[in-house]
Amino acid sequence: MPTSGNPFDIFPRVTLMEHATPIERLFRIEDALGADLRGTRIWAKRDDHMTLGGGGNKLRKLEFLLGQATNENCDTIIAVGGVQSNFARLAAAASARRGLSCELVLTQMVPNNSEAYQRSGNVMLDELFGATVHALPEGANTIEFIEKRVAELAAIKRKAFVATLGGSTPVGCLGYARCAFEIHRQSRDLGVEFDLTILPNGSGGTHAGLLAGAILLDQDPKSVRAHSVLGNAEKAIADTVSKVNATLELLHRPAALTANEVNLSDAHFGDGYGIPTRAMVDAVRLMARQEGLLLDPVYGGKAFAGLLTDIKSGIVSPGSNVLFLMTGGTPGLFAYRDAF
Ligand SMILES: *Cc1c(COP(=O)(O)O)cnc(C)c1O
């Protein structure tokens, strides 16, 4: 349902989710925190709660990316990611749903050669959704491989649309700019003002989209806080700023964001992307045991661990409403059975 004044309606978009995702209060986590809670109310925006392909944040980006691909008359989606990429899995599912051909170029981003990591979880689902999987060996030249594959497809009269890591192009970022408007509407309907939204930052497109949306809605960009899981703070902030400004440019708004307006911490990054931390395991367990909900080990687990420390340290103001963006990725749990 288009909303009046929605600046995203001019962009081609395919519908991959029928409804707004729910926002719920995490009462049992609040109880479990005891005195540490300091009167905080913890809410979850359930972007893990979507019907297509197991759901997750990448579907919002794919709505606009597949819109662009369709508009450009592409018949094949080539999506790039790590072996356990949720983006690849959802590109495969969305392509199946839209009758597009899908090829996945999966790279070794995480030093994990376990059977579970290399064969289970997302990568197992990729094949189930009918995608052609190109698993590249460590050190392979990904860009060269993709160029060659695009040319091979062109030679048989097929037109490929290449969606790189996380789908975080300016067009992909529109998905979460639009989500900021969805949250704004829900906040009004609930009668709750969210003082701080907390989420993971990987390729940065989710954070960047929410920030672009916040700017369009005249909200303080610092009210969106991310925990980086893919790079150190300096790099994650620089990447996110350039994505926000590119997204605003696409929307014909003056690009305005600077690095010191980005609220981001790398305290829960640990030893690297996809490498488990103790706090992540504890956070995934807490959510499962108190609420019966699943976080993923690469993104949501680390970000929720960050939220818990932010509450304890007072970064979340005592007595405020904090909204945690649950981004999905639960198939990844099966790849990380060793960590649990
Ligand atoms: C990709 C992903 C993220 C991070 O989103 P980015 O836009 O890449 O920063 C967070 N959570 C899950 C489950 C993801 O798959």
pLDDT tens across 117-129, in order? Answer: 999 999 999 999 9
CATH number reported for the structural domain that contains residue 159 in this entry: 3.40.50.1100
**What's the domain count of the chain?**
2
Which letter, b or e, does each residue of 315-333 get, where b requires 16 or more Cβ atoms within 10 Å of its Cβ? bbeeeebbbbbbbbbbbbb
State the distance from the centre of ligand 1 to the C-alpha of 86, rounded, in angstroms: 8
The residues pairing with 265 across neighbouring beta strands, listed in sequence order, are 227
Query: Cα 126 to the chain's mean position, in Å?
Result: 18
State the distance from the centre of ligand 1 to the C-alpha of 229, rounded, in angstroms: 9
Q: Does 140 share its domain with 262?
A: no
Give the range of the structural domain holding residue 146, as residue numbers without chain letter: 61-167
Identify whether 18 is part of a domain: no
Higher pLDDT, residue 2 or 305? 305
Q: Does 45 share its domain with 185?
A: yes
State whether the beta carbon of 328 lies less than 6 angstroms from ligand 1.
Answer: yes
CB-CB contact of 331 with 89 (8 Å): yes
Per-residue pLDDT, 173 = 98
Catalytic residue among 4, 85, 317, 320: 85
Identify whether 319 is part of a domain: yes
Per-residue pLDDT, 82 = 97
Neighbours of 167 (CB within 10 A): 29
- Active-site residue 85, yes or no? yes
The residues pairing with 332 across neighbouring beta strands, listed in sequence order, are none
Q: List pLDDT tens digits, range 232-255.
A: 999 999 999 999 999 999 999 987
Q: Does 138 share its domain with 187?
A: no
Per-residue pLDDT, 5 = 66
Give me the chain's average pLDDT, please: 97
Report the residue count for the chain.
Answer: 340
Identify whether 10 is part of a domain: no
Q: Does 47 share its domain with 181?
A: yes
Rounded-to-5 percentages of helix, strand, coil across the chain = 50, 15, 35
Q: Does 41 share its domain with 173?
A: yes
Q: Does 81 share its domain with 221?
A: no
State whether the beta carbon of 86 lies less than 6 angstroms from ligand 1.
Answer: yes
Q: Does 271 share its domain with 331?
A: yes
Per-residue pLDDT, 3 = 47
Identify whether 230 is part of a domain: yes
Q: Does 151 share its domain with 176?
A: no
State whether the beta carbon of 329 lies less than 6 angstroms from ligand 1.
Answer: yes
Atom of ligand 1 nearest to the CA of 226: 9
Q: Considering 110, 138, 167, which residue would you say is the last residue of a domain?
A: 167
Q: Does 213 share its domain with 295?
A: yes
Q: Does 239 share its domain with 312?
A: yes
State the distance from the centre of ligand 1 to the C-alpha of 132, rounded, in angstroms: 22
pTM higher than the cut 0.85: yes
* Lookup: tokens for 228: 């980086």
State whether the beta carbon of 81 lies less than 6 angstroms from ligand 1.
Answer: no
| Cα angle for residues 27, 222, 314 (degrees, 5° grid) | 50
State whether the beta carbon of 299 lies less than 6 angstroms from ligand 1.
Answer: yes
Nearest to residue 261, comparing CAs of 287, 229, 237? 237
Q: How far apart are CA 255 and CA 241, in angstroms?
A: 10
Q: Does 202 share its domain with 321?
A: yes
Q: List pLDDT tens digits, range 9-29.
A: 899 999 999 999 999 999 999
Identify whether 15 is part of a domain: no
CB-CB contact of 20 with 182 (8 Å): yes
Q: Considering 167, 198, 213, which residue would you say is the last residue of a domain?
A: 167
Question: According to DSSP H, which parts of 292-324 are helical?
Answer: 300-313
Identify whether 296 is part of a domain: yes
Q: Considering 117, 132, 167, which residue would you say is the last residue of a domain?
A: 167
The residue type of 324 is: F
Identify whether 113 is part of a domain: yes
Per-residue pLDDT, 2 = 42
Using pLDDT thresholds of 50, 70 and 90, give the confidence band for residue 1: very low
Q: Does 51 share its domain with 191?
A: yes
